[in-house]
Amino acid sequence: MDFVNHFLTHWNYLGCITLMMIGLYIAISRGNLVKKIMGVNIFQASVILLYVSMGKVSGGTAPILMDGRSDVIYSNPVPHVLMLTAIVVGVASTALGLALVVRVNEAYGTVEEDEIVALDRAEDERALAAEAREEASGGAA
Amino acid sequence: MSDAASTHHVATEALVLLDHLPALQVLLPLMGAPICFLLRKEALVSAFTVAISFACLGISMSLLGDAMHGDVIVYEFGGWSRPFGIEYRIDITNAFVLVVVSLVAAVVFAAGPGQARRAIPVGREYLFYSAALLCLTGLLGVTITGDVFNVFVFMEISSLSSYILIALGRERRALMAAFTYLIMGTIGATFLLIGIGLMYQMTGTLNMVDMAERLVAVNDTRTILVAVSFVVVGISTKLAVFPLHQWLPNAYSEAPPIVSAFLAATATKVAYYLLIRFTLGLFGAALVFDRIGIDTLLMPLSVVAMFVGSIAAIYQTDFKRVLAYSSIAQIGYMTLGLSLASEAGVAAGLIHVFNHALMKGALFLVAACIMWRMGSTKIVNMRGLGQRMPITMAAFVLAGLALVGVPGTAGFVSKWALVTAALEQDALFLAFLIMASSILAVVYIWRLVEVIYFQEPDGEVEKKEAPLRLLIPTWILAGMTLYFGLFSGFSVEVAEAAATQLFAGLGTVGH
């Protein structure tokens, strides 16, 4: 019972960890580059949840100074401010990632990682074969 | 009278400017990046970038000079002192890393985008310079700041611009290399962010000095243990410590050689500095080494990196890939220094940071020369290059010998320091492993030397060196590997002073 209670009182952290694992799993397991980016995005979003929930003070109100009252408890605004920056960073890296995916799609004609790897490997083999042919003709001359 | 007054006025203004050197160190390249964007003309932009990077070098040298006098330089932004404001805090360690980063940046930027010109549409070179200056901003910012959240932000500035620079590579593979690096890098940075969040949760401050003081009291809480693991894994991803190195070979070999020269010599060095700063400076040696035993984890990983990197380098068919894999091995030497958990070990790691930046910078610039001349860096195309471009190849031999660690070169100084540090702890076997992995370096360097000097070139031999703009920076770095091998006073002295200061603790020094 104690155990369950412990978990339930930390539900915000549980949510954050779940989201974190979902994001990380998508980023690792998916072969589609767009999905990878989205996975990383979810992973970053979970960190925002972590910071925001650590800024919450029990019984605290929004940190806007109330004149003439000394008994008010305020929540900590610093983590929120930090997360504004982290959101900007997240948006920038997502945008750059998606821009790269667009260029990958232009260059390879696909955004599936296994197909791209296969294309690269085929290119390598062609280069090797060409080299071998050159070597053979050079030897004959 | 008025003359005297105006000189006095100028003098005080100069003094005021001198007070703001730490801010200028980061602001100059930050402001320079958009200005590059506005200037557009290639000649103008490249002259401007070189001017800015040399100014950064001057500033960092002057900061190192001040730091070596024993004072920790504290610069408070907007006059807000800690814990409210953000401060830049410069001790010997980060002043040293600042010098390494800005030195390499100045020399490499002077070489210009070089062969990248074929990848970048004519008239768009200014974008290369903007991204390069932003990357420099991020790297200098990570190094100079005394605020842990600032570290994360600057790290992302440098990473995002380095993804752009890597994607400039000629082949389409460069795009995938940049993408993989982006995924790995973002996950690594987010790990660091989680770690920083947990540290903030326990200490209520983001300032490094305050945090180090308050962490002592909460040292053995589970939150801090989790924070240590998140921070160490996050930074290790950026540093490419052995099992987390997968992004590095592709990124460095597909990027334009100039970009590889810059990143290989700076980005991993800054990550190494961060690892030292967080483990020794913030968490403290007592927690990280004695209680958690990061050193017992880091040591085998470093040794494996030394061997796996070197062995993989032997089997590569592309010059740039050889260099990239050798970087993994060299990073192994640096982390091995840290894992010795002693002053001598950390000093050896820092000496290698400096020396490796010089050698790898020089070698990747040689790759840029080869790229310019042959159109590719495949080893089969390098046959008989010793006859085609003898001066460039002499630089290769010099930097290659340094990589092996031949006495008289910079590489010897750092390996000697590392072996001495290992022997200090009676780790004979470790010293033997360092020697053994150096022999592997002989193999991959000799393999290249054989192709370059002892194989007949295809077709007619025409002696033609790379343009002076590439050749001079290459020789500056290669010459420095020789100079700092013969006169190792500077690097050894600074690194040892830095290690002493680090072990004395961040909170106890200075203000």
Q: Do B175 and A107 touch (CB under 8 A)?
A: yes
pLDDT number for residue B507: 42
Domain boundaries, chain B: 2-504
The answer to whether residue B226 neighbours chain A at the CB level (below 8 Å) is: no
Answer yes or no: are the C-beta atoms of B65 and B145 closer than 8 Å: no
3-state secondary structure of B1: coil
Token digits for A93? 């890296």
Closest CB from A93, A104, A131 relative to B380: A131
Whether A94 has a pLDDT exceeding 90, the answer reads yes
pLDDT at A39: 95
Q: Does domain A2-109 have CATH number 3.40.50.150?
A: no
CB contact under 8 A, A100 and B186: no
Residue numbers in B near A104 (CB within 8 A) = 172, 175-176, 179
CB contact under 8 A, B182 and A93: yes
CA pseudo-torsion sign B290, B291, B296, B301: negative
How far apart CA B293 and CA B273 sit, in angstroms, is 19
Q: What H or E segment, with its residue span, contains residue B329? A: helix B319-339
Chain A residues near residue B175 by CB distance under 8 angstroms: 100, 103-104, 107
Q: Report the chain A residue with the minimal C-alpha distance to residue B171.
A: A107
Q: Are B173 and A79 in contact (CB < 8 Å)?
A: no
Query: Can you say whether residue B40 is alpha, beta or left, with left for phi > 0 and alpha for psi between -120 and 50 degrees?
Result: left
Q: Is the confidence at residue A140, as pLDDT, over 60?
A: no
Q: Does B197 touch chain A (CB under 8 A)?
A: yes
Which residues of B fall within a CB distance of 8 Å from A33? 179
pLDDT at position B355: 94
> Do the interacting molecules here have an ipTM over 0.90?
yes
The one-digit pLDDT tens for each residue of chain B (511 residues) are: 445 545 555 556 666 777 888 999 999 999 999 999 898 888 888 899 999 999 999 999 999 998 888 778 888 888 888 778 899 999 899 999 999 999 999 999 988 776 545 556 666 788 889 999 999 999 999 999 999 999 999 999 999 999 999 998 888 899 999 999 999 999 999 999 999 999 999 998 999 999 998 998 888 889 999 999 999 999 999 999 988 999 999 999 999 888 999 999 999 999 999 999 999 989 988 888 888 888 899 999 999 999 999 999 999 999 999 999 999 999 999 999 999 988 999 999 999 999 999 999 999 999 998 888 888 888 888 888 888 888 999 999 999 999 999 998 999 999 999 999 999 988 889 999 999 999 999 999 999 999 999 888 777 777 788 888 889 999 999 999 999 999 888 889 999 999 988 888 644 433 3
The number of CA neighbours under 13 Å toward the Cβ of B99 is 23
Among all residues of chain A, which has the CA nearest to that of B148? A82
Interface touch A93/B175, C-beta < 8 Å: no
Domains of chain A by residue range? 2-109
Contact between B165 and B129 (Cβ < 8 Å): no
Q: Which residue of A has its CA nearest to B194?
A: A47
**Where would I find the beta strands (DSSP E) of B214-366?**
none
Question: Hey, are the CB atoms on B176 and A116 less than 8 Å from each other?
Answer: yes
Interface check B193 vs A, CB under 8 A: yes
B82, B182, B211, B238, best to mutate vs chain A, most A CBs in 10 Å:
B182
CA A5/CA B398 separation, integer angstroms = 67
| Contact: B179, A24; criterion CB under 8 Å | no
Name the phi and psi angles at A110, rounded to 5.
Answer: -155, 160
Q: How far is CA A109 from CA A29, A105, A106, in A?
A: 21, 5, 6
